[in-house]
Structure 1
């Protein structure tokens, strides 16, 4: 027997064994509940622990609220109450209530619902009869109760399995539906938690898109009188260059303006659903805006110059929408309704007619828009030469530059772990060495700064190309032209927990806010929490992230403990670092929640108002003994 034949034998044997094992017993049929729990990503996207606005626990809440929104859209119920108690969520609407004889089926049997009847729910969000069943299956405990004409029906489940089917009883409650659920920690992790700011953002969007509806969250009311105009006003990062243009028509609403920031910011919705990934309707609006502006000014402006620094909200109502996934984050429909005009033609006609008329009636706004477009055009041409020089410099520098220790998987790769891709930005080679030695080379990359980066507040984008460090960081992220090429799902600022580390953190956040705000808006920027103390005795070691945790660890370990204070990441050994960037990693998301004017905030902390800032620091200074007390 030749050597090649002998080497092939193990493979042949393995194939034979596999073939023998593939029998009728290998074929399994799962119930809908089992399938949802086994493959939750098909139904709610990512699982997560609640640190990201698109994590699964918020999808469960959204699915519960969507049904109530559809009732309101059809003219039933003007109030929705949401309550959060620790991990238990309660959603109560005052619509018609699920027909009592079908409550059990509607919340537990997949592909069951009223949304297949387009006359009952003409332009609803949920059309597949899946959402509430997924909420049920992925919850540790779940209750659904319908109130209808003086009678009520209650069903109770645990992890998707029926626990009690109550009989129909009398009630004095108003008509409507009540859903209560607690997500299952077996799926979402023991440390999952709801972040109120993400829920509030979700509820504001519902309010903006459904004028006349009042939503309450733990007693706080959310209501809008001006629709998308209110949405844009709330989310603008600075003063707009001209008053918000607000256009409304049947099944279509648009609001937009331009600011002083870089990039394009869109809030897109279909039938009240926040399509965070856009879709055919957003593409149609972006195209229609450019064409209308070109026709109005009779200039063949570059599309990028027309849309640079735009803030826009787009909402459309579509009959029987087709989304690209169950989480409904991207519209795939090409027609506004079966047999109707295409979405491209429908939106194009609406924008052309309404925007053209608006600009003719508002000449000051038209002039401001033209000035902004031409300013963007001048800056783009100025940057063109600088970009080519910077790229040549970076090409030469990349041969010996060691700032980036890259990983093997990146966002967008066809691999189930691609969403784990993370770039840690650290200060200095010492911290970079510790992190690099223990990182997961598949999904974790490291970018090392040298000293404090430049304060970019008030500077133009050409500073990125003139500053080698920022240009290399931009290249590592691959976001020079748009966020579409972002290589890492999480960008983590990992600086020391001291004054210098905090300053570097602020400089980096300022940089991203100034030039890449979408990185923050889309939930990609995080702060790495590293331990301040190590408390240990001969049997146990506890890492503590706060004074409170330190005190608790001291009490637990008794008098024999010793305490180590970590002053910087470079002091933490590679062996210890592994614990802080693995499964137990603590990340604090950087968000724009509750921030009405980031330009004003940056101007105060990063601008040249030194006396005012000095007075503020002195008035708010806390010394260590005060913090301990």
Structure 2
């Protein structure tokens, strides 16, 4: 049974009492016509109805334009964010066909915009490869928009049609003549569907930059009409890459110290599968491999990643053995050692990709593994033979990684021997909760013993656990793995959470089967040191416990910045705007001096009751869930913020200094 049919039946079945006698009959079955299924279960098609789903609408429209570029008909894509948070995406492709669709007896443009699974992507003569949602993308955008207008320039004419929540307002009509070709889609997301309707320029810009790297020779630009400088100019960013993945790897690794002058570049085609790979070793201790299929970031990997890893390990191992550089090593080398300090981008184009999951995060095509494996083995072997100096540098890095891993294994095993559910195996500083169902439990990682003590007094002991952390934890971005497991604070986090790390295939893989809490809340002071500590913890989670973030288990607490008092009236404020509004309200026509403003710079300045009321009580608190919107950009930012290179960090701080506020 298809997912669509299952959802349609579920939507109509209710509690089985539709006919009044408790029987489940044909009367209970509700058939969702056209795009109604999308509006009934939007998250099933776009992931969620929050910020991620909102931005996904833009990606789906852009994907259609990218498909035109992959077919060789488009080299310019423009995106506009309008003042009302509507979006326009315009390209110079061929334009969606507007002639009569023989089966549907209406314009092909209307069919594409209003019928699920309709599009040229199913005809291999139209598109060799494509991304998007395989024919449901642009129609989903239409269904979830209060207004959408599509304008097509094709065959010397301009055609247009408008829709409201997916329904055409009039048949496709001619609207003039033109010498151009292309498609322009202007839409406004339906605010009755989405919990957030404000577009983030940074999120959209990051995706356009990524697409420019993945599709060399295409220009993508974005203009934000919601803001303007003193000259009336709107923020505008344009992205273009002549060298594709080679430029991408330089961008991602710009904050790391390289071990070779140029990235290794692999490009070719095996079994009608185009493969493009760029890779570079650096002095870091983390593995950063990003994989794509038809421009879709497959953050869970799949067969293309498995083929790359297999070929990399086998080819480098053979070269290292042949060179005699491993002769004095007293223990075996494994796959992890060949990937430490490696940044790589793998991009494949597959005619009929099979993805696991609705949001396509893992590739399942078995034939892709062999194609990537064969190509990488051949071309990497050529590179090693032709670049002996770089080859020896890589092997020396592998030997260093193996030596460190051997030392780390003992430290890791020590952590995991303590990692049991009995109280005696838990960290001494942990104040655990009485509940044992992980779905109902949450743990607060609190900055300092003082704030930890307050949190212990203020918490609900049934489901809230407290783990105080002493000072700043280790910066894992600049530490070898065995140093990480030697860190007392990090050992306490592993042990308290109940997770184990390391498998035979991947020494950094995280096992969440015994995770003791499904909410891990970072709670630090609202000052510079507190922000630094939170960033250190997030860096550790991103590099070594990323599965926690991907499963939606990591949160950041939001303590108030101010307590405003006047007489018996008091109110907590979480922003400068709230503070100003509250002071103005409390002051009235009187003097501001009558209003007392308390600035909370640390959690310890609140008593247990205040901390519970504002920051820990599920009825009133605000928790910010940590998500990964763009894995490659997150990788780059963590490297910049926590790595050794100072100039990029200084540039980032100067660029974002306008968002900071300094308290006297």
Once the two structures are superposed, residues 458-503 of structure 1 have per-residue CA deviations (whole angstroms, 9 ceiling, x without a partner) of 5433333333321121342737333554658875432121355345
1:538 Cα offset (Å): 9.8
The yes-or-no answer on 1:42 pairing with 2:44 is yes
Equivalent residue, structure 1, for 2:387? 362
Question: CA separation in 2, counterparts of 1:113 and 1:158?
Answer: 20
Question: CA separation in 1, counterparts of 2:452 and 2:389?
Answer: 54
- Alpha-carbon spacing, 1:539–1:377, altered in 2? closer, same or farther (3 Å): same
- Alpha-carbon spacing, 1:333–1:217, altered in 2? closer, same or farther (3 Å): same
- Alpha-carbon spacing, 1:599–1:328, altered in 2? closer, same or farther (3 Å): closer
Alignment of 1:458-607 (within 5 A): 458-475=478-495, 476=497, 478=499, 480-481=501-502, 482=508, 484-485=510-511, 492-498=521-527, 500-509=529-538, 511=540, 527-535=556-564, 543-556=572-585, 559=588, 563-569=597-603, 571=606, 572-577=610-615, 584-586=622-624, 593=633, 601-602=641-642
The yes-or-no answer on 1:33 pairing with 2:53 is no
1:273 Cα offset (Å): 2.2
Question: CA separation in 2, counterparts of 1:65 and 1:623?
Answer: 33
- What is the RMSD of the two structures over their aligned residues, measured on CA atoms? 3.9
1:142 partner SS: strand
Question: CA separation in 2, counterparts of 1:313 and 1:436?
Answer: 45
1:422 Cα offset (Å): 7.0
Question: CA separation in 1, counterparts of 2:568 and 2:178?
Answer: 60
Equivalent residue, structure 1, for 2:430? 403
Q: Is the 8 Å Cα contact of residues 532 and 544 (structure 1) preserved in structure 2? A: yes
Equivalent residue, structure 1, for 2:214? 209
1:343 Cα offset (Å): 1.7
Question: CA separation in 2, counterparts of 1:69 and 1:623?
Answer: 37
Equivalent residue, structure 1, for 2:102? none
Q: Is the 8 Å Cα contact of residues 390 and 466 (structure 1) preserved in structure 2? A: no
Q: Is the 8 Å Cα contact of residues 221 and 237 (structure 2) preserved in structure 1? A: yes
Q: Is the 8 Å Cα contact of residues 560 and 614 (structure 2) preserved in structure 1? A: no
Equivalent residue, structure 2, for 1:72? 69
- Of the structure 1 ranges 453-462 and 193-202, higher mean CA displacement relative to structure 2 is found in 453-462
- Alpha-carbon spacing, 1:508–1:347, altered in 2? closer, same or farther (3 Å): closer
1:330 Cα offset (Å): 2.0
Equivalent residue, structure 2, for 1:186? 192
Question: How many residues were matched structurally?
Answer: 579
Equivalent residue, structure 1, for 2:201? 196
2:357 partner SS: coil
Q: Which runs of 5+ in 1 are unaligned?
A: 1-13, 335-341, 411-417, 607-612
| Length-normalised TM-score, structure 1 | 0.80
Once the two structures are superposed, residues 165-202 of structure 1 have per-residue CA deviations (whole angstroms, 9 ceiling, x without a partner) of 4522213362111112222332321x443222222221
Q: Is the 8 Å Cα contact of residues 205 and 237 (structure 2) preserved in structure 1? A: no
Equivalent residue, structure 1, for 2:149? 143
1:91 Cα offset (Å): 0.5
Q: Which runs of 5+ in 2 are unaligned?
A: 1-14, 99-106, 224-235, 327-331, 503-507
- Alpha-carbon spacing, 1:525–1:329, altered in 2? closer, same or farther (3 Å): same
Question: CA separation in 2, counterparts of 1:160 and 1:465?
Answer: 54
Q: Is the 8 Å Cα contact of residues 394 and 472 (structure 1) preserved in structure 2? A: no
Aligned residue among 312, 315, 334 for 2:347: 315
Alignment of 1:384-463 (within 5 A): 384-395=409-420, 397-399=424-426, 401=428, 403=430, 405=432, 424-427=444-447, 428-433=451-456, 436-437=459-460, 441=463, 446-456=465-475, 458-463=478-483
Aligned residue among 140, 155, 164 for 1:158: 164
Q: Is the 8 Å Cα contact of residues 432 and 448 (structure 1) preserved in structure 2? A: no
The yes-or-no answer on 1:114 pairing with 2:120 is yes
Question: CA separation in 2, counterparts of 1:353 and 1:394?
Answer: 44
Once the two structures are superposed, residues 324-351 of structure 1 have per-residue CA deviations (whole angstroms, 9 ceiling, x without a partner) of 23433221222xxxxxxx2222111101
- Alpha-carbon spacing, 1:504–1:16, altered in 2? closer, same or farther (3 Å): closer
- Alpha-carbon spacing, 1:506–1:325, altered in 2? closer, same or farther (3 Å): closer
1:32 partner SS: coil
Question: CA separation in 2, counterparts of 1:268 and 1:19?
Answer: 54
| Length-normalised TM-score, structure 2 | 0.77
- Alpha-carbon spacing, 1:599–1:162, altered in 2? closer, same or farther (3 Å): closer
Aligned residue among 235, 241, 250 for 2:259: 241
Once the two structures are superposed, residues 395-417 of structure 1 have per-residue CA deviations (whole angstroms, 9 ceiling, x without a partner) of 5853574626478676xxxxxxx
1:320 partner SS: coil
- Alpha-carbon spacing, 1:328–1:514, altered in 2? closer, same or farther (3 Å): closer
